[in-house]
Structure 1
Amino acid sequence: MAEAPKNPYKIQPEKAFWRASVGTRHYADMENLWEPMALKRADRVATAGSCFAQHIGNNLARRGAAFMDMEPAPPVFANETEARRWGYGVFSCRYGNIYTSRQLVQLFDEAHGQRIPGERVWEKDGRFFDALRPGLDPVGQESPEDVLQMRNRHLEAVRRMFAELDVFVFTMGLTEGWESVSDGTMFPVAPGTIAGTYRPEDYRLHNLRHHEVSRDMLEFWDRLRSVNPAARMLLTVSPVPLAATATQNHVLVATIQSKSILRSVAGELSEDYDGIHYFPSFEVISSHPARGMFFEPDLRNVNMFGVDLVMKHFFSGPLAEEFGGEVEKPLQEPELICDEARLDAS
């Protein structure tokens, strides 16, 4: 009979110990940060979330994954860069940034006819914008009817995406959001930032708590599996700090609170549900062993060295075998589309 270990840590692998796996290693040589999920080239992958989700989608597509583009750009744009500024090719559908769990579950319900937001159109200088994705249209439409017609087509694409995907990659970005007082509809940006008019009596800040984010994500998961029983979900947390906060906290404190909640929820969901996975892009970029080296001088935006390291860890183990190792990078990375950045445009 084998002798029992003196304590339960004696049987843990090397990655469980700080000194061996972090403290005495060069950061570039760290390994085994995650157990790669099963993913094949033929798996249909859809992406959504904050700005950082775009890196994962871009790299999956570059390595030959079946990246879903449900709303491809029409042939009126001069190039890909111009099309991206109108929201084409950024995510799997043209929904812009989905920063919060509340936006995600509300989008699903709207796409499936379960809710109609009370406020869907914002106005600015005589032009009209989709209030649920105002940053996608640089010039606006001539009438509210035009906006709603385009939104209906968009929702049809979203509905098909959820029904047809194999893997849904969602990058959780924020807990803060602005919602309608009348029906709780949460917008991607505060009214008045891009379009619309801010009225304190009609809109309020809602900083989602842990239990709210957890409930939203579980409700979304149940809804997704109801229309697509085999669907899987990969969660990440954006390492990009808040551009601004509307709470009473310093933006640094607000950032840590927000990211801590999102990271906690993502971890719990991946531990409790077999079909939900977590990839630690947040830890790779933001943990203190990185010494802040993967941020641009503004200490907010992630530089390409950081993005490359994140992708190195993502495409490891069986994913390296399936998708290959390093791939040739384009001369210029696609511009990230980030509505939140407009809060600190000055």
Structure 2
Amino acid sequence: MPPPSPYRGLPARAFWRGAVAGASPFPTDIYRPKFAVTRDTKVFTAGSCFAQHVGAAMKAAGIGVIDAEPARRGMTPETAKRFGYGVYSARFGNLYTVRQFRQLVAEMNGAQPALPVWERDGRFWDALRPGVEPEGLATPELVAEMRAQHLSALARALQEAEVIVFTLGLTEAWEHRQSGTVYPTAPGTIAGSYDPEVFRFVNYGVADIVEDFTALETSLASINPDLKWLLTVSPVPLAATAKEDHVLAATTRSKATLRVVCDMLAESSPRIDYFPSYELVTSPAHPRSPFAEDLRSVRPEIVAQIMQTFLAAHGLGGAPDAAASPNPTNPSTESESDAVCEDILLDAFAPDRP
């Protein structure tokens, strides 16, 4: 008889052979929710580009995703999305880092970011969400006015929310040296101009991100003490890195850091859960690459299967409807091409290669 072992009697999901090798790339038991998300749950969505797919699938499933800044009447869906309406629960654009989210809530409570307006060719952009006004605005005063309206809507949304679904995307960012104000894009990418004496590159570590999240959670608990969190990590690789490392190594470092943070946070509280979208994309059980030809965009049918896994775990039945579910017979379609992502603009700075 084999000697006793702590592995004897463990469920099949604990063993690579059978749970990954020889199994579906979307195992039904990979995610066991800590708390329920129902169609009546008031969900606040935020995060990096991949979070846009999460929010769209939840809306399509009939979940009560908050939209505190709806598009103006008569605006087409395409135009609305281009200008940041309906993409997240408020019109803050992509929050690539936890530091961004922490800063946004601090500003909502009265903090003042440095250099909040960037200029290019006589037009003006909100430096904290430059992607939501792709053409810029006519005056700095108009930028400030619209931002004040946005912060007011954000406060209402966060007070109403029951669950925040937050997708962590990046560890790399650009900060204002003197104040620490963090921006979603490097100055000079969409607007503004880069001055190394004014701005610096940062790459947050585990301790930095845990500290930021703890401060963010504490701040929000003061206005919404019953708030729960559902964290996930974006599987989309970095478009570029400002580190000296190869972009592949920089991507691995970034995603590993974020994954460790999520584990630490989820283990620390019954109000914080983690959904493994990153693992479902990067699993070696896929019979073909889950990425499109650019090796960054997650194929639409993979996104649909990921969200089906989430919805099924919450008893919400099956895949998202046709409004959010890509056509699985067209695997060449790039799901990320439908997302509004500032970081893809970095491709324009890549040198030509033979």
Instruction: Settle same-fold status: TM greater than 0.5.
Output: yes
Q: 1:292 to 1:300 in 2, by over 3 A?
A: farther
The match for 1:304 is 300
The match for 1:267 is 263
1:104-163 C-alpha deviation (Å, 9 max, x unpaired)? 1000100111x1012110000001110000111122111111100000000111111111
Q: Which moved more, 1:291-300 or 1:79-88?
A: 291-300
Q: Does structure 1 retain, via aligned residues, the 8 Å contact 2:24–2:285?
A: no
The match for 1:185 is 181
% identical aligned pairs = 44
The match for 2:164 is 168
1:331, distance to aligned residue in structure 2 (A)? 8.6
Amino acid at match of 1:131: A
Amino acid at match of 1:44: K
1:233 aligned counterpart, secondary structure? strand
Q: Does structure 1 retain, via aligned residues, the 8 Å contact 2:304–2:319?
A: no
Q: Does structure 2 retain, via aligned residues, the 8 Å contact 1:284–1:290?
A: no
The match for 1:83 is 80
1:160-188 C-alpha deviation (Å, 9 max, x unpaired)? 11111000000000000000012000000
Distance 2:285 2:210 in 1: 29
The match for 1:247 is 243
Q: 1:56 to 1:76 in 2, by over 3 A?
A: same
1:291, distance to aligned residue in structure 2 (A)? 5.9
For the aligned residue pairs, the C-alpha RMSD in angstroms reads 1.6
Gaps of 5+ in 2: 327-334
Distance 1:256 1:327 in 2: 30
The match for 2:18 is 20
Q: Does structure 1 retain, via aligned residues, the 8 Å contact 2:22–2:285?
A: no
Distance 1:8 1:272 in 2: 25
1:106 aligns with 2:99: no
Distance 2:284 2:17 in 1: 14
Match of 2:208 among 209, 212, 215: 212
Q: 1:49 to 1:6 in 2, by over 3 A?
A: same
Amino acid at match of 2:82: R
Q: TM-score, normalized by length of structure 2?
A: 0.91
Higher helix share: 1
1:328 aligns with 2:321: yes
Distance 1:263 1:18 in 2: 20
Amino acid at match of 1:63: A
Distance 1:206 1:187 in 2: 11
Distance 2:160 2:49 in 1: 24
Distance 1:122 1:203 in 2: 13
Q: Does structure 2 retain, via aligned residues, the 8 Å contact 1:70–1:157?
A: yes
The match for 1:7 is 5
Match of 1:51 among 49, 52, 61: 49
Match of 1:33 among 12, 30, 33: 30
Distance 1:316 1:331 in 2: 16
Amino acid at match of 1:326: A
1:342 aligns with 2:345: yes
1:237-267 C-alpha deviation (Å, 9 max, x unpaired)? 0000000000000000000000000000011
Match of 1:93 among 90, 94, 104: 90
After TM superposition, the structure 1 = structure 2 runs for residues 66-81 of structure 1, keeping only pairs within 5 Å, are 66-77=64-75, 79-81=76-78
